[in-house]
Structure 1
Amino acid sequence: MYGYIARQPIFNKAKETIGYELLFRDGEANAFPKIDADEATSKLIMQHHLLMGVEKVTSNKLAFINFSEETLLHHFPTSIKPESMVIEVLETVPPTPELLATLKYLKELGYQLALDDHDFDPKWDPFLPFISYLKVDVQQFNLLQISRHLRRVADYPFTLLAERVETAEQFEKLKLMGFQLFQGYFFARPEMLKHKQLSSNKANLLALMAEASACTLDFERLADICQRDLGLSYKLLRFINHSGQNQAITSVKHAMVYMGEAELKKFIALLALANLQDGSPDELLRQSLVRARFCDALANHVKLTKNPPSSFLTGLFSNVHLIVEQPQDELLAQLPLLTEVKLALLKREGQFGHFLKLTEALEQADWPLTDDLLQSLPEGADLAPMYLEAVAWAESLLRQV
């Protein structure tokens, strides 16, 4: 299954691209799908930001993203860095006190705000001090009407952006009227990008893996992700029950705190990776689990300890890019893994990279390379039993998850 996104460039007076308005699409017809604005924004963020990164979609230029009332009030925009985006408030959003408070909060966090298809109704005047961009549909008014409206709001410090500019004559006249940014078919029609997408469930799983790899766990964030998926919550509680704990668990967050960070990090990463698969686990997943356990065993042998368990995560993440069919460097850029882990995965550098190279040498039965890599480990590393134990552990885990 593929995800689709349209991006329409936004230009300055010199016709230089300064950003893109991102538009969710559901197919190659390049038309807006028959879904509501909340769902469109949610899909745009989950399917494209999480996997590709907004910066990649916009070539490191500003992303103008439409937000409806619900997505704004629930602070959806805060999942993207403030410097990467402009929050567009849809023209259908009612100007309520709650919305004004939300926009003030987002402004304080560093986000730039835009009013989309602004109609110059005075009811929006209390919002104007917090607005960075005022977008005006120049097909909605004639030039005389636009000029009159602009005089009334001339004291506010926003940048004027003209939408639906369709002729060179319009472009020249709008420049004289004070518009600084422009968007429309005169410049470029929306172009469509396509990439392999994850289902919303798998996006949650990848988000869990990202959170589990952070140095310090955010239990609130983890619980929020888990609670979106009943199956994940059930498996977490079942895991705790099977581990012999006898304390009554009152919530998903309580369960996570009770497990402790080290075990929770491993469990979440394992559970998420296992559930990224469609149907039965295949060899990529099996290999990832074996690598995770074996790399962890090697770290224990050399008495290397870190939080998070970085050697374990190095093996576990070694095949994620193949499982979700994403370029490895792009995928890792979206995950808060330690630099040492990323260097191990991308370049096989450092201690963790050494463990991974040794694991791969064993997988490929490259005995000369195995012996060579073994020389740098302390004496007494009996690889065969360690590797067989890792295989048995992986098979046992696959039966559970």
Structure 2
Amino acid sequence: MQHSIHSLSAMPMPGLRDAEVLHFGRQPIVDAAGAPQAYELLYREAGGNWANVIDDTAATAHVIARTLGGTGLDWTLRKHAGFINLGRQLLLDDLLLLVPPGHFVLEVLENVPMDACVLRRLAWLRMAGYRLALDDVATLTAHVRKALPAVDFVKVDFRLASRAELPRLADAVLRADRLLIAEKIEGPEEFALAQRLGFHLFQGYHFARPEPLTAPLPHLDRGALARLQTLLQHGAHTDVLLAELHANPGIIAQLLRLSVATGVQPCGGIASVRALLQALGPDSVQRWVRLLQMSDGFRLPGEPSLRSQAAQRRACFMAQAARHVRPHDAALADAAFLTGVLSLAPLQPDGTRRDIQDTFPVTQAIRDAVLHGHGELGALLQAAEVYERGGNPLTMLGMPAG
């Protein structure tokens, strides 16, 4: 069935900029020479380099969502490992399976009891390839002794630990063949003491204060996440899931970034939303939706944003225009839709469309269309842009203007 381009919505789409951002932080963990070996990723309040953590689960979900779905692993971690804090709830949640083990160290908060359930979970995570750290250690308690065999790093808080306790604590960790990290190092005397005691890595204001980072605000709304979560929980048919995803381009952009972070990228790149869903699988999509609800549920608007509506209209226009030009080529229509989504996807506040090359694992044809306006998809994108400005898109498609 052919679709008339003139039948599409005539509502103009505003040229919006990605002004809204979400904040998190990054503090280096360095070696004795001061060279970064890892970064701790930190929750930060909007508009400031500070934190008021009321819910440690939501705070860590925020950090994971910003890193995997916002700034990306390479930019955030600079090829190093990222330390993230975990309370008991998130430690036991399969949401952790979204976190690629080769890139992160899971830092168990000091208030997590080392009961049998937690110890079993730590053993399973290490077998799955995750590295673990025990956070904010100040004394050699029974809790610490019980945790030592289950972790790879022990972070000792120099602000809390007494100078008399530090040698005994460091000796016990070194005898267990675990790596020692001295945290809250605020001056040269503490740094020198930590070195004498055999600490391997160091963190604190003496080296660097946490660096504030920003990630683009996802173009999502609470209603869309809730509907998608319900569909996934009830095992909805793929076509039903696709219909919901097509109505919410912000989720599509997030899932594209997730596929990069988790290494789920089909050979040749992703050419459609269906291919993206197949590559990730419903379980990963459901985990990601839950993570976003946990992280951003109270921040998100109740209705789609103007930018989300603009991206959805552009993507639908391009898909219908593709069907008009080549009625029997479903693949072109699917690729045209994804091109439309990508052309208005939120980027870093200082980013450009060229960042698409590394941020989104799409086919070369889609990249060429968005970056350079090349190919059939580029012509469709230019037609959409002409249409949005009130012009006649038919001329861009090599068709009579009548």
Q: 1:28 to 1:357 in 2, by over 3 A?
A: closer
Cα offset, 1:133, TM superposition:
1.5
User: How far apart are the structure 1 equivalents of 2:182 and 2:249?
Assistant: 46
Question: Deviation of residue 187 (structure 1)?
Answer: 1.2
Answer whether contact 1:104 1:130 (CA < 8 A) is retained.
Answer: yes
SS in 2 for 1:51: helix
**Secondary structure, aligned partner of 2:305:** coil
Higher relative contact order (Cα pairs below 8 Å, separated by 6+ residues)? 2
- From 253, 256, 259, the counterpart of 2:237: 256
- The aligned counterpart of 2:109 is 90
Whether 1:291 and 2:318 are equivalent positions in the alignment is: yes
- Does the alignment pair 1:49 with 2:74? no
Q: Please provide the CA RMSD for this pair.
A: 3.7
Q: Give CA-to-partner distance per residue, 1:246-301, whole Å, 9 cap, x none.
A: xxxxx8544325x4xxx743x13322138973269755543332113213444545
- Aligned pair count reads 330
Report if aligned partners of 1:11, 1:182 keep a CA contact under 8 Å in 2: yes
Q: Does structure 2 conserve the Cα–Cα contact (< 8 Å) formed by 1:288 and 1:319?
A: no
CA deviation map 1:137-195 (0-9, x unaligned): 12322344221223233333322100111221221221122111101111122222234
Give the CA deviation at 1:4: 1.7
Report the CA distance shift for 1:312/1:197 in structure 2 as closer, same or farther (over 3 A).
closer
- Structure 2 counterpart of 1:320: 345
**Superposed displacement of residue 56, structure 1:** 2.0
Once residues 140 and 316 of structure 2 are traced to their aligned partners in structure 1, the CA distance between those partners, rounded to angstroms, is 58
Does structure 2 conserve the Cα–Cα contact (< 8 Å) formed by 1:292 and 1:316?
no
- Is 1:163 paired with 2:183? yes
Distance 1:158 1:110 in 2: 16
Residues of 2 paired with 1:298 and 1:282: CA distance?
24
Q: Which among 241, 245, 248 is matched to residue 269 of structure 1?
A: 245
Matches within 5 A, 1:98-137: 98-118=117-137, 119-137=139-157
Displacement of 1:16: 0.7
- The whole-number CA distance in structure 1 between the counterparts of 2:66 and 2:356 is 13
Alignment of 1:148 with 2:175, yes or no, is: no
**Deviation of 1:326 (Å):** 6.9
Question: Cα distance, 1:33 vs. partner?
Answer: 1.9
Please, which of 9, 18, 23 is the counterpart of residue 42 of structure 2? 23
Q: Is the contact made by 2:247 and 2:312 (CA closer than 8 Å) also made in structure 1?
A: no
Larger Rg, first or second structure (1 or 2) = 1
How far apart, CA to CA, are the structure 1 residues paired with 2:359 and 2:140? Answer: 39
What amino acid is aligned across from residue 290 of structure 1 in structure 2? F
Cα distance change on mapping 1:165 and 1:42 into 2, 3 Å: same
Q: Deviations over 1:76-114 (max 9, x none)?
A: 332222222211100011112111122222222222111
Query: Offset at 1:357?
Result: 4.5
The correspondence of residues 227-246 of structure 1 with structure 2, limited to 5 A, is: 229=226, 231-232=227-228
Deviations 1:50-77 (A, max 9, x none): 1222432333332111111101101333
CA distance in 1, matches of 2:247, 2:357: 19
Distance in 2, Cα, partners of 1:325 & 1:269: 27
Change beyond 3 A, Cα 1:158–1:340: farther
Measured at CA, do residues 291 and 172 of structure 1 come closer, stay the same or move farther in structure 2, by a change above 3 Å? same
Pair 1:174 & 2:189 matched: no
TM-score (norm: length of structure 2): 0.69
Equivalent AA in structure 1 for residue 77 of structure 2: T
Q: Secondary structure at the match of 1:255?
A: coil
Change (3 A) 1:188 1:324: closer
Residue 345, structure 1, aligned to residue 370, structure 2: yes
Q: 2:99: which partner in 1?
A: 80
Confirm whether residue 278 of structure 1 aligns to residue 337 of structure 2.
no
CA contact (8 A) 1:69 1:93 kept: yes
Identity of aligned residues (%): 27
The change in CA–CA distance for 1:357 and 1:100 in structure 2 (over 3 A counts) is same
- Partner amino acid for 1:321? P
Residues 191 and 318 (structure 1), Cα distance of their counterparts in 2 relative to 1, 3 Å cut: closer
TM normalised by structure 1 equals 0.69
When residues 57 and 368 of structure 1 are mapped into structure 2, their CA distance, relative to the original with a 3 A threshold, is: same
SS for the counterpart of 1:172 is: helix
* 1:63–1:86 CA contact under 8 A, matched in 2: yes
1:56/1:133 CA distance change after superposition, 3 Å: same
Unaligned runs of 5+ residues in structure 1 are 206-225, 237-250, 375-381, 386-401
SS of equivalent to 2:132: strand
Amino acid at match of 2:85: N
Unmatched segments (≥5 aa) in structure 2: 1-19, 251-301
Asked if the contact 1:52–1:330 (Cα under 8 Å) also holds between the matched residues in 2, the reply is no
In structure 2, the partner of 1:391 is none
2:35 equivalent to 1:10: no
State how far apart, in whole Å, the 2-side matches of 1:289 and 1:134 are: 52
Aligned letter for 1:273?
P
CA contact (8 A) 1:198 1:324 kept: no
